[in-house]
Amino acid sequence: MRKLLLIALLTCLSAPAWSAGGGGDLMDARVDVSDEASLQRGAKLFANNCMGCHSAEYVRWNALPEALGVSMETVESNLIYGDYTPGDTINAAMRSADASDWFGAEPPDLSLTARARGADWVYTYLNSFYRDPDASIGWNNTLLANSSMPHVLWRMQGVPEARYEESHGEQQVAEVVLPEGQQGTLSESGYHRATRDITNFMAFMAEPVRAKRQEIGVWVIGFLVIFTILAYLLKREYWRDIH
Ligand code: HEC
């Protein structure tokens, strides 16, 4: 019986590691969905660079003001292009049929990706693009080999190249570097921050109520502590006469 309990406990403890994708070499995105400034920057970057191809169908525009700490007017004027009503979901500008013709793969909906793949995975993906010497491949990605997504943020990051090593008779990417003169408009840390902000926004989308849940959690624990103390005092009061 004790063994069973131990197994159950260990399973619970290791579950979060599984659901996070458990990847070995992922970078740490250190997402924080209560960081409104980061969410604002992330939302803007997402609207300008990602929504041409990707939708976020499970997220409604009117969920954004509260999470980002801005008014609906700010969301309208900064993030939304074209006609919409506030209850609309975040839809891609591109029709998915066109997208698969152009890219060979349909850009997936990104509402839940940060939860399905894990935020660290998304962050690492955005930091793993490189220019493949094989011109027929074009952009490639060390995390998702032969990914059909182009490196849409290359102007910010620059044009990274791969350094190869031989392993079991095959050429494999050993590391990705940004050669001198190939830098983009952002510094290395600037690009890390931009991709972290995008990842943060995607983490918010994957679970819009997370920040609120954490906030409520503190109150619930506080209530339980106070309630436990009261219950204990009450118990002592009742038992005093009996002892
Ligand atoms: C030009 C169109 C295009 C743009 C713009 C674009 N993507 Fe993609 N994206 C794709 C395609 C196509 C795929 C599918 C790749 C594959 O499976 O080979 C993809 C895949 C992804 C994936 C992997 C999803 C998964 O679970 O496999 C992530 C994450 C992603 N994109 C994030 C982004 C982010 C963040 C941006 C904005 C910075 C962005 N994309 C901009 C076309 C695009």
Please report the pLDDT score of residue 135 as a whole number: 85
Tokens 């624990």 belong to 221
This model's pTM is above 0.85: no
Q: Do the beta carbons of residue 100 and residue 92 sit within 8 Å?
A: no
Element containing residue 140 per DSSP (H, E): strand 139-141
Q: For residue 122, which atom of ligand 1 is closest to its CA?
A: 29
**Structure confidence at residue 178 (pLDDT):** 93
CA torsion sign for 133, 156, 40, 18 is: positive
Question: Measured from the CB, is residue 195 less than 6 Å from ligand 1?
Answer: no
Residue written as token pair 């392993």: 167
Q: How confident is the chain (243 residues) per 10-residue block, as mean pLDDT?
A: 62 48 75 94 94 89 90 89 80 68 83 95 97 91 93 96 90 90 95 98 87 82 95 92 75
* Greatest pairwise CA separation for the chain in angstroms: 88
Q: Is 141 helix (H, G, I), strand (E, B) or coil?
A: strand
CATH number of 24-208: 1.10.760.10
Question: What's the pLDDT score for residue 41?
Answer: 96
Pocket test of ligand 1: the residue of 41, 45, 53, 146 to mutate, having most ligand atoms within 8 Å of its CB, is 53
Which parts are annotated binding residues for heme c?
A: 50, 53-54
CA distances (Å), origin 193, targets 26, 123, 187 = 16, 10, 10
